[in-house]
Amino acid sequence: MVTTIAVQPQGFTHNADMAMSATGVALSRTYYDPNLGVKVNQPGYINNGDFNVYPNWPALGFKAIAAWYQLLGKDSIDNARLLVALLYACTTVLFFAFLLRSEFDFNVAVLSTILFVVLPQHLTYGNIIFADMWLLPFWLLSFLIFTAQPKFYFLIVFIAIFATLNFMWFVFFVIPALVVMLVYRHYALSARQMGLLLLLSVASIWLFQKLLLTVFDNVPLFAELRQWSVFPLLTNIKLSAYLVLKSSARVLYEAIPVLLLVGCVTYLGVVRNGLRLRARHLDSFIFVGLTLFFAVLSLPSWFVTHNTSSVFFSVLIAVTGALVLQSSNQQQPRKTVLLGCLSIVAAVALYAGLPHLTQGRSNIATFKQIVEHISQTDRHTLKRPNVIFSLRSDRGWSRHGLKMAVKEELRAYIFRIRSPKEPIKLVDYFQSSTSKLRRLDAPGFDSSKFYYVTDFPYTEKLLHSNYLSFTEYSLPSGVFLYEFELEVAR
């Protein structure tokens, strides 16, 4: 039997959200309910009938999300998104406070903060449920402390060490930026001396990273450092160049509102007498720029492979906008508000245009169609569905995203096969996989039914075979969903 089903897409909004948020929920649920995994000392989740450790990030970020579930009493995706929204609000407050402490005018701080909030990549980042969501609050907190008296700078070092042990390698970009700023202030370095100091700092960071990776080769904490450092980029120069250009295009897209702001200020002659900025303005801007500079050069592989890395540039872009608006506000205050509003409208328009620059909408629709059908079929059972995926990489499917999104939306057990299988072999594979789940004591799996998601449709001859009972559902997005019912021996 062939049935066509169609539903309105909702929930996840783009491919990165499908892949990262669903993965983040899976990892955090492991700590909320230890029955979901057997190695709760490391992030991981059940995949292909085994517990797969996820070594890229330390565990605290996911444990914190699990603690939030405990507080609210349920490990739902909506509750996780509520926590992300609170952190997003926290970063907004920290950014606004940072601008005020840097002696920007109040109206400039308000306009720049609104611009920061609606920058396209920052808005995209604002609904990601993953370890990344903890990075920006700590980063902005270090900026805010920088505006205090130097006797409090030890707190910046403490934040960098704490964040490194639990989230990301902050010690490689926050502490070097602080040291360079202190040297710059004390010795009043020239531009040439500053360039040499930066070059020496980057070389020292890379050498220190190489030393750490050599000495602590088998320590799990250093797995992410090995993956995100500069060294993987050196193995494939052509691919690295492509990734750098792609990342640069994302940053350029993010910077359009401020580039528009600079163009308008120049065209209108708002700052005819030049930029009039206080020393606190420049110090804060330089510290933000230095931190980003060291972050990109110490962890370049992370920046070029993660779309969400653009949010770090959003801070520098918004601070740059604040500098331009501050200069305008000192000379023509009325036009400053108009220019600030224009840049905000441009940022909102760019965010609205993001879906048209990606190919993620068909993946979202496919995900929702799969979830809708399985939910309707299994609505009377308390068992968790089993879903096997076999999708071609050249068809534009977000294979990891689809798999993880279905897993977390349905609390399903997921499996992926590299090549399509005939029904008989597929059943054998499923039975072998469920035996693994049984050995793991995985809760609630259904050994009598599974679903097969593929873009390799079965022939009419196989569809009408009497050996197995299965049904084909054709999804509008070009994917086929097969429902297999098995006889279980009593």
pLDDT digits (tens, 9 = 90+) for 454-471: 888 887 766 666 556 778
Half-sphere exposure of 234 toward its Cβ, with a 13 Å CA cutoff?
7
Please report, in angstroms and rounded to a whole number, the separation of the first and last CA atoms in the chain.
28
- What torsion, rounded to 10 degrees, do the Cα atoms 232, 238, 244, 245 define? -170
Give the pLDDT confidence score for residue 186 in this predicted structure: 86
Predicted model pTM: 0.88
Average pLDDT over residues 118-140: 88
Highest mean pLDDT among 53-67, 136-150, 386-400: 136-150
The mean of the pLDDT values for the chain is 84
Helices marked H in 332-382:
333-353, 361-377
- Which residues share a beta bridge with 483? 451, 471
450's enclosing H/E stretch is strand 449-454
Domain residue ranges of the chain, discontinuous segments joined by +: 2-65+361-485, 80-357
**Residue 359 — very low, low, confident or very high, per pLDDT cuts 50/70/90?**
low
- Which residues share a beta bridge with 260? none
- Percent of the chain exceeding pLDDT 90 equals 35
- The overall longest dimension of the chain from CA atoms, in Å, is 88
- Chain centroid to CA 286: how far? 26
- Token pair for 409: 């939306």
Q: In angstroms, rounded to a whole number, what is the distance separating the alpha carbons of residues 184 and 167?
A: 29
| Secondary structure letter of residue 171 according to DSSP | G
Give the pLDDT confidence score for residue 196 in this predicted structure: 95
Sheet holding 469-474, edge to edge: 2-4, 469-474, 480-485, 449-454, 386-390, 413-416
Q: In angstroms, rounded to a whole number, what is the distance separating the alpha carbons of residues 131 and 60?
A: 9
